Chains A and B, each alone.
Chain A
Amino acid sequence: MKCDIILAGVGGQGILSIAATIGLAAVEEGLFLKQSEVHGMSQRGGDVQSHLRISDREIHSDLIPHGGADLIISVEPMEALRYLPWLSPEGWVVTNSVPYINIPDYPDNAELMAALEDTGNTVVLDADSIARELGSPRSGNMVILGAASSFIPMPFEILEHAVQQLFSRKGKEIVDLNIQALVAGREAAATR
């Protein structure tokens, strides 16, 4: 078993929390893991990505080869498209539909949605609204992770437990909200 995931977003959108959650889950499952992150300059509102690889065999490269990713998880729609060269022909894209516009030439939304549609195996959902409805507007990243969870070859309970571990320092209320976001994302993707 192996699952190579590209996490995408804009600096500050919380893709590293998604990475940390999957990472904790992988460790609990006794899997091998490598997760490469971006630190430094691009964290200031630039495009950021993380290569996350889990496998039941030893992993060599910290980076995923072109055409090798099983999954792109993106918290921003245009950023999902940036990493298509890494996606395998059978791979899936799970992305938030809400754009993060901090550049003057951001593409037209209809064109953006059409390009996502074109990529084939795509799940697009409005994670921000789902998170807001739960009363946890900052949990959009967990909604997206929930929506992607059926493509990650690990039991859902393991991911839930990882969320619990990750947010435990912030108290029970925050843990519960993030788990609700995770579940809501999974349900939203399933009922599409």
Chain B
Amino acid sequence: MQKLLLLGDEAIAQAALDAGMSGMYAYPGTPSTEIMEYVQASPGAASGNVRREWSSNEKTAMEAALGMSYAGKRAMVAMKHVGLNVAADAFINSAVTGVNGGLVVVAADDPSMHSSQNEQDSRFYGRFAMVPVLEPRNQQEAYDMIFDAFDLSEKYRLPVLIRITTRLAHSRAAVQRREARAQNSSSLPADPRQFVLLPAIARKQYRALTGLYEKLRTDPVLSGYNRLTKGSNTKAGIITCGIAYNYLLENLRLHNDGHPVLSLAAYPVNSDLVAELVGSCDRVLVLEEGYPLIEEQLRGLLDRDVKVAGRLDGTVPRDGELNPSIVASSLGMQGSAGKEVPAIVRQRPPSFCKGCGHADVFAALAEVMKGFGPGRVFSDIGCYTLGALPPYNMVNSCVDMGASVTMAVGAADAGLFPAVAFIGDSTFTHSGMTGLLDAVIKDSPITVIISDNSTTGMTGGQQSQATGRIESICLGLGVNPDHLRVIVPLRKNNEENMAVMAEELNHHGLSVILAMRECIQTASRNKKAAAAEKNQAE
């Protein structure tokens, strides 16, 4: 079979297609976005009629995937780690309903927060929901695991969580493909009440789930991914999780002290393997790309039975992603450090693109807000969060998708006037609409600025769910048409836009200002694509 050079994300996408997936559901989020992008661009997905449209948010994606599973087909849903918070209600309950067609949930964690607000570890969600978790060590394993994940899902009638981190998601390596499997034909669940979580049914199913979760520990496929390599140097044993194993091998290649190594990539873990390693070694070093999940379990509440080194005792930094150099120093190896960064090297934070419409909205808002005082602009997740940086210094909050609107509502309730919410179109349809309804119902004295660039910009310009419909959505939610103002954020309109903002900021009720101008990146890409098409036609 063909060998392909794939990102970890792409390996997962290709594997899902080869494993007979009938539908993929997702909302863009770094570092998970490329999974759906690959499926959308795949000729095989098109010819196999695989459903692959973006969803409004991770919760709707998770539910749609569960629905496809209900109907007997294999479905996958992918999101960044914080997206799993949004999907958590559906995710946790999907373990209780169980599945019909195979259901694979991919969560891409972002330790070190390259493009995120936190570095939460999705393996905890797996344990919380009591579902199998697979954590691939490399691109090939990511590909192979997806096949097993779908099979396990159908064997145990449970969703399976795939947990990856930024480095695997966004690193490319050669991947060997397998023979493709046909899609499932549709079928209803054997038990018509399987998905009905009325308390009486839920209690029964939940009890079954707790028993099933313990059975997973001895599943041969899951256990097969957890490998113990014996060694004669029993002064210290090493446990790695996921890609931490690669960083260990990188160092052992140079200097192998013969430590026994237990490399984990599947959860729940069979405790026999752990007992074998721990029992044979004086102490254990735990290397985890993420939170100290295994380390905490090893230590236990009393932390006195096993000598453990890891993130909790400072052998490994408490936060941030691992790398070969951190692992070297945790092993007590002298890494060969290069030169220091010269003092003249400056920080180069991300910034608005030249000609960005968000920047023009902020320029106008900064002028107008001078008349009202600081600390009043609640913002959200997207490119426009860069309004927090100089020269604007305008953003006072960035918490979670949609929080700008509802935090402004709460601050206004506390007497802050005016309170401004600054949100993009895609974030608005993800989780801002429901908050706006709250504001409509009580006519909150806030001004919501929806900076609509007709795309999901920060993640690379994916389709925004309600392009061209934001105004009618606002009206539909009940925003007073007199206080729903549409502006075009261009420098030449600055005076006019400032006047609109000043009027609405002074209004003691809900206002929505819809600032509409296409993302400069999307516009230029579309222009290039149109030119290329014209070239081809000629």
* Chain A residues engaging chain B, CB cutoff 8 angstroms: 10-11, 23-24, 27, 32-47, 51, 59-69, 78-79, 81-82, 84-89, 91, 102-108, 111-112, 115, 118-119
Q: Is B232 an interface residue (CB 8 A)?
A: no
- Residue from B30, B172, B383 in contact with A35 in the complex, judged by beta carbons closer than 8 Å: B172
CB-based contact A102/B348 at 8 Å: yes
Please indicate the chain A residues that have their CB under 8 angstroms from the CB of B383 in the complex: 44
**Chain B at the A interface: SS class:** loop
Q: Which of B247, B342, B352, B459 has the most CB of A within 10 A?
A: B342
CB-based contact B243/A87 at 8 Å: no
Question: Whole-angstrom distance from the CB of A83 to the nearest CB of chain B?
Answer: 8
A43 to B460, CA, bound (A): 9
Q: Which residue of B lies closest to A24 (CB)?
A: B5
Sorted nearest first, the 7 A-B pairs with minimum C-beta distance are A40-B115, A40-B30, A67-B336, A46-B350, A65-B324, A62-B171, A36-B171
Q: Given A60-B249, A87-B338, A89-B336, list of 12 further CB < 8 A pairs? A: A23-B172, A36-B170, A41-B114, A60-B245, A61-B250, A65-B323, A78-B344, A82-B341, A82-B345, A84-B340, A89-B338, A104-B390
- Residue from B114, B250, B341, B346 in contact with A65 in the complex, judged by beta carbons closer than 8 Å: B250
Instruction: Evaluate whether A65 and B328 lie within 8 angstroms (CB atoms) in the complex, with A40-B30, A46-B349, A46-B351 already known.
Output: yes
CB-based contact A41/B350 at 8 Å: yes
CB-based contact A66/B171 at 8 Å: no
- Residue from B115, B336, B344 in contact with A66 in the complex, judged by beta carbons closer than 8 Å: B336
CB-based contact A45/B30 at 8 Å: no
Q: Is B174 an interface residue (CB 8 A)?
A: yes
- Which residues 320-336 of B have a CB within 8 angstroms of A? 323-325, 328, 335-336
Total count of chain B residues near the partner, CB < 8 A: 51
Q: Which residue of B lies closest to A57 (CB)?
A: B253
Q: How many A-B residue pairs have CB under 8 A?
A: 163
CB-based contact A119/B339 at 8 Å: yes
A24 to B345, CA, bound (A): 32
A65 to B336, CA, bound (A): 8
A61 to B348, CA, bound (A): 27
**25 residue pairs from A and B, CB less than 8 Å apart:** A24-B5, A34-B172, A34-B173, A36-B167, A37-B7, A39-B170, A40-B31, A41-B350, A45-B350, A60-B247, A60-B249, A61-B249, A65-B251, A65-B323, A66-B325, A66-B337, A78-B346, A81-B344, A82-B345, A85-B340, A89-B336, A107-B344, A107-B345, A111-B344, A119-B339
A112 to B172, CA, bound (A): 33
A77 to B251, CA, bound (A): 31
CB-based contact A33/B174 at 8 Å: yes
Q: Is B151 an interface residue (CB 8 A)?
A: no
CB-based contact B338/A78 at 8 Å: no
A67 to B174, CA, bound (A): 26
Question: Whole-angstrom distance from the CB of A104 to the nearest CB of chain B?
Answer: 8
Q: Which residue of A lies closest to B342 (CB)?
A: A115
- Which residues 13-56 of B have a CB within 8 angstroms of A? 30-31, 33-34
CB-based contact A67/B337 at 8 Å: yes
CB-based contact A41/B344 at 8 Å: no
Instruction: Evaluate whether A63 and B174 lie within 8 angstroms (CB atoms) in the complex, with A47-B348, A107-B344 already known.
Output: no
CB-based contact B338/A85 at 8 Å: yes
A85 to B344, CA, bound (A): 15
Please indicate the chain A residues that have their CB under 8 angstroms from the CB of B31 in the complex: 39-40
A157 to B459, CA, bound (A): 36
Question: Whole-angstrom distance from the CB of B513 to the nearest CB of chain A?
Answer: 24
CB-based contact A61/B246 at 8 Å: yes
